Structure 1
Amino acid sequence: MPLPHTDAALVEVVEAKGSTPREAGAAMLVTADGIVGTIGGGTLEWRAMRAARALLSRGEDEARLRVPLGPEIGQCCGGYVTLVLRRASEADIERLEAVEARATRLALLLFGAGHVGRAVARAVHPLPFDLRWIDERPDACTGEALVIHAANPLTEVEAAPAGAAYLVLTHSHARDFELCEAVLRRGDAAYLGLIGSATKRARFVKGLEALGLDTKELVCPIGSATIRDKRPAVIAALVAAELIAVMNKKTGGAKE
């Protein structure tokens, strides 16, 4: 998030009642020619931007704005928000940058650069994940700027940050098993997804539990328990949605 180098107003949701696009604590910075962050978009955000710029132009320090989210602003949420607008300090700017970065990103290790791996990488790349995409085959890494060649991908599991998510989609069932074992031995994964069928899951569960590992967090098949579609792009879309749900749970989610 770039820090503004001109006067900025901090707009913060201090109260949110009923159905609202963002929760109390959500904030954004408004300058004369741009914004950083969001309080939910739409007419609510437009009104807040206009009020914040008026505050800056008048040289005021603080204002308060209560906005009902009803037909009068073209919305049907049914709730209301109370906003506090104030001239932003450097501390406000740095705090917002830190909060946004911490609350909205999840470390994701993606193992495998086959058809599904490539589709998943494309699907999650614009989303709020810190993606580390790994394959041990040098030829699989050509033509993809994002993929990292790792001769021993198990070292990537060892070096991963606590609370990371893992997707295991390699070319080898044996390597898949080793990666799942390494992740489960760490015991701190936010998510462990394994590509494969229910039969593959049953075999892996049997082998992993024989090693004394708890497999209840192993997700296989990945993406959806009800939608059966083997097209890589569809699998990728379903997996991305699954990961967003994991991240939302991990970070507390957006409250209505």
Structure 2
Amino acid sequence: MNDWISALADLQRQGEPCVLVTIIEEQGSTPRNAGSKMVISATQNFDTIGGGHLEYKALQIARDMLANGKHDTHLQRFILGASLGQCCGGVAVLLFEPMGQVQAQIAVFGAGHVARALVPLLANLPCRVRWIDSREQEFPAAVPQGVRKIVTDEPVFEVADLPSGCYCIVMTHNHALDLEICTALLKRNDFTYFGLIGSKTKRMKFEHRLRERGISASQVQRMRCPMGLSEVKGKLPIEIAISIAGEIIATYNTHFGQHTACAESAAVEPIKKWLPSSRRSHATN
């Protein structure tokens, strides 16, 4: 039974990053089988490449790759001997292949027509999606794998829980709510991408209101509105969704492994403290 095959499929289905380790070559008095594989996640490992200190070193390297978000294939040559617990010398070459690395954490505020077209597209990318709205009835009966549905009376308070470097998409059913979320995001100012659905006229109105709330011009300029690729035309929800997804892909391909963390974000009053204990919020995966 090839445990690594089923383990790799399960981890990818769950959206959990892992590293596939393969013996490319080993020469020594007791060589292992070239082609032997094992799968290593942050907390588990499946199958074996023969055990011993070589496997231990492979575990260390793979987990370091996961911890540091490395996504490039890595080939490493080991000189076998006492340092690797081998009684005789030799050479081993291991291939480390990261699988299922998350390239973007995305928050989608709103569950309207465009959001319902957009989220399934994002779910097919190497991303994790938080889908946030106050209206449970607007969500589909089943959300895609890798999407966390969050139903809350106060979507704006979810901004406090977003990871630094998040990709934020604001498209709620209410302009006043859009403005509150935009204000909270721009005060944090540590996102990689922030897009607001709407026209140039909506942007002009929001720029004025955001400045009244103390948001600087340089912060406001980071807001994409209108958002999406200008080359993708059309007003159907799926056409708008494809345009936005294309812009997200172009951005994370450029910025993978980076995020913009501004010094101002450290001084922002925690949003959660504003939330009365009576407010309701629940999430499902």
TM-score past 0.5 threshold: yes
Change (3 A) 1:117 1:60: same
Post-superposition shift, 1:221?
A: 1.1
1:251 aligns to 2:256 (yes or no): yes
User: What percentage of residue pairs aligned between the two structures are identical?
Assistant: 33
Q: Which runs of 5+ in 2 are unaligned?
A: 6-18, 35-53, 72-100, 259-285
Tell me which of 208, 211, 216 is aligned to 1:209.
211
Deviations 1:121-151 (CA, angstroms, capped at 9, x unpaired): 0000021222100111122135143432111
Aligned to 1:89, the other structure's residue is in SS state helix
Matched residues, number: 187
Distance 1:220 1:59 in 2: 60
RMSD: 3.2
Distance 2:67 2:60 in 1: 11
Look up the match of 1:182. Answer: 184
1:233 aligns to 2:231 (yes or no): no
CA contact (8 A) 1:205 1:215 kept: yes
CA contact (8 A) 1:106 1:247 kept: yes
Post-superposition shift, 1:170?
A: 0.6
Correspondence 1:104-253 to 2 at 5 A: 104-141=102-139, 143-145=141-143, 146=147, 147-213=149-215, 214-251=219-256
CA contact (8 A) 1:169 1:194 kept: yes
Change (3 A) 1:101 1:155: farther
Tell me which of 22, 28, 31 is aligned to 1:59.
31
CA contact (8 A) 1:141 1:149 kept: no
CA contact (8 A) 2:69 2:257 kept: no
CA contact (8 A) 1:163 1:189 kept: yes
Q: Which runs of 5+ in 1 are unaligned?
A: 6-27, 32-51, 63-85
AA in 1 matched with 2:141? G
Distance 1:56 1:134 in 2: 54
TM-score (norm 1): 0.63
Distance 2:70 2:178 in 1: 31
Post-superposition shift, 1:4?
A: 5.0
Look up the match of 1:97. Answer: 66
Post-superposition shift, 1:117?
A: 0.4
